[in-house]
Structures are given as structure tokens and as C-alpha cells.
């Protein structure tokens, strides 16, 4: 339950991470080296958004690989960076990735990460179903659409946080088709080694980074962030 800046959810106040000094809880277990060939800017979210994107695809990579090539398909309903990371990992594992979003910058980034992009407000109900679907938009209507687009015995992973406390889901279609639904916080530290292995093999996440900002400009840049922003200092 160690999460910077999210004490109301975690129950542990670790403070924020935009600080000159940072205390890392359980550092002996939580810190690990990354390959020297990987640009630190590309993996600034390795403890949070990147694992959240990976867990929608990575745990099922062997199931995808066992399918016929034409069936190795993944649908990602994107918003902010988590959907981009999910699309990147699905492409790295050899899947055909359909990425749905309305933001031009994210659509362009998803295309660079290996996805086929679709500029439309929601998945079309007439699409063929996918064995793996990932919903990252935290919108109940889009979640229902992603669940309907999941094929029988398929898996839909949702990374959203729904503060309204009540979300309608198409339970009867899910039940009749045996759709598996996955939600909850990602156990980031447990899956980082699998991600690092993929990064070392050449998976490049840099296209997901929208801006790189000097540390001293953080107070003015933070309120204006629209995409993945990485703050750096010498």
C-alpha cells in the first residue's frame, strides 16, 4: 500500500514525489536496477502507469501466443498514458492492437507504439470480439462497450478508479459468454521484472512521453499537463 500522493486510497501517507528529498518505504525490496540501455525518461512511470498498462496484456501473453495469428487481437480503449502503455506491450508481444481514443496526440503516439488507431468516441458494437480488451478511460459507458467487445471466455481488464461508487455493467451478456473481468490496483513491484525484461529486449516506450520539463519549471507546468509529462533535473 505504498503510493506517493495517494494517502486517501492507500491509508499510508508517503507524501508527494515532487520533492527534493524522498523517503522510499521498504527500499531494500522496492528499489531495483534497470538496464543501462533504457532511457530513464521513457520509464519514469515504471512504478505506476507502466505496470498498470502491462497488467492488461502481459499476464495473458502465453494465451495470446497460443491463438491462431489472426486471432491475436487486443482492443485498448485509451485515455492518458495507461492505454498507450497497454497498446505498446500488446504490440511487443506480437498482437494486432486496435487503439480507440479521441485525442489526436495520443492517437499519434499509439500509432508510433505499433497500434492501429481509431478516432471515434467509443468502440463500434459491430466489431468482431477480441480475446483481450483493456479499458483505461474510467467511463462506465466505454467500459460496457469494452465488455461487449470481449469474446467468450475472453478477459477484460479495467484500470479506472470510479469515485461515483456505482457503475452499471452488462452482467447478463458477460455471464452467458463467460467473460472474465479484472479490476483493482496493480501490484506494481511484482510485475516490474517482467516489464524490465521486455524493455531490455527493445520495447521502446518513449513515444508515450508528451513533454520533458526541467525540474524548476514544475510549479507552472504541472497545472497545464495534458499528456505524459516527465520532470528532469541534473
Report pLDDT digits (tens) over 18-63.
777 777 778 888 888 888 999 999 999 998 899 999 999 999 999 9
Question: Would you give the DSSP letter of residue 208?
Answer: G
Q: Please, are residues 77 and 135 in contact by the beta-carbon 8 Å criterion? A: yes
For CA atoms 44, 48, 51, 53, the dihedral sign is negative
In the chain, where the domains are located: 1-31, 38-234
User: pTM of the full predicted structure?
Assistant: 0.91
Query: What pLDDT score was predicted for residue 8?
Result: 66
Query: What pLDDT score was predicted for residue 195?
Result: 96
CATH topology of domain 38-234: Quinone Oxidoreductase; Chain A, domain 1 (3.90.180)
Q: In whole numbers, what is the pLDDT of the chain averaged over residues?
A: 89
Query: What pLDDT score was predicted for residue 146?
Result: 93
Ranges of the chain whose pLDDT falls below 50: none
Cβ neighbours for 209, distance < 8 A, ≥ 6 positions apart: 41, 42, 44, 228, 229, 230
Query: What pLDDT score was predicted for residue 225?
Result: 87
Query: What pLDDT score was predicted for residue 31?
Result: 86
Query: What pLDDT score was predicted for residue 125?
Result: 63
Amino acid at each position: 500500500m505504498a503510493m506517493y500522493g495517494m494517502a486517501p486510497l492507500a491509508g499510508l501517507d508517503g507524501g508527494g514525489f515532487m520533492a527534493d528529498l524522498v523517503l522510499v518505504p521498504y527500499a531494500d525490496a522496492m528499489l531495483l536496477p534497470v538496464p543501462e540501455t533504457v532511457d530513464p525518461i521513457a520509464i519514469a512511470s515504471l512504478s505506476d502507469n507502466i505496470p498498470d498498462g502491462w497488467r492488461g496484456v502481459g499476464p495473458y501473453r502465453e494465451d495470446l501466443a497460443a491463438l491462431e495469428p489472426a486471432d491475436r487481437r487486443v482492443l485498448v480503449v485509451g485515455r492518458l498514458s495507461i492505454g498507450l502503455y497497454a497498446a505498446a506491450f500488446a504490440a511487443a508481444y506480437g498482437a494486432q492492437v486496435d487503439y480507440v481514443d479521441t485525442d489526436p496526440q495520443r492517437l499519434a503516439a499509439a500509432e508510433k507504439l505499433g497500434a492501429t488507431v481509431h478516432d471515434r468516441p467509443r468502440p463500434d458494437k459491430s466489431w468482431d470480439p477480441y480475446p483481450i480488451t483493456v479499458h483505461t478511460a474510467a467511463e462506465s459507458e466505454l467500459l460496457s462497450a469494452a465488455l461487449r467487445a470481449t469474446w467468450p471466455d475472453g478477459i477484460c481488464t479495467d484500470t479506472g478508479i470510479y469515485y461515483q461508487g456505482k457503475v452499471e455493467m452488462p452482467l447478463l451478456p458477460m455471464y452467458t459468454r463467460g467473460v472474465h473481468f479484472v479490476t483493482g490496483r496493480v501490484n506494481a513491484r511484482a510485475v516490474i521484472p517482467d516489464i524490465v525484461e521486455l524493455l531490455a529486449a527493445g520495447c521502446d516506450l518513449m513515444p508515450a512521453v508528451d513533454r520533458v520539463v526541467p525540474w524548476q519549471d514544475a510549479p507552472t507546468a504541472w497545472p497545464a499537463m495534458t499528456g505524459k509529462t516527465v520532470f528532469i533535473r541534473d
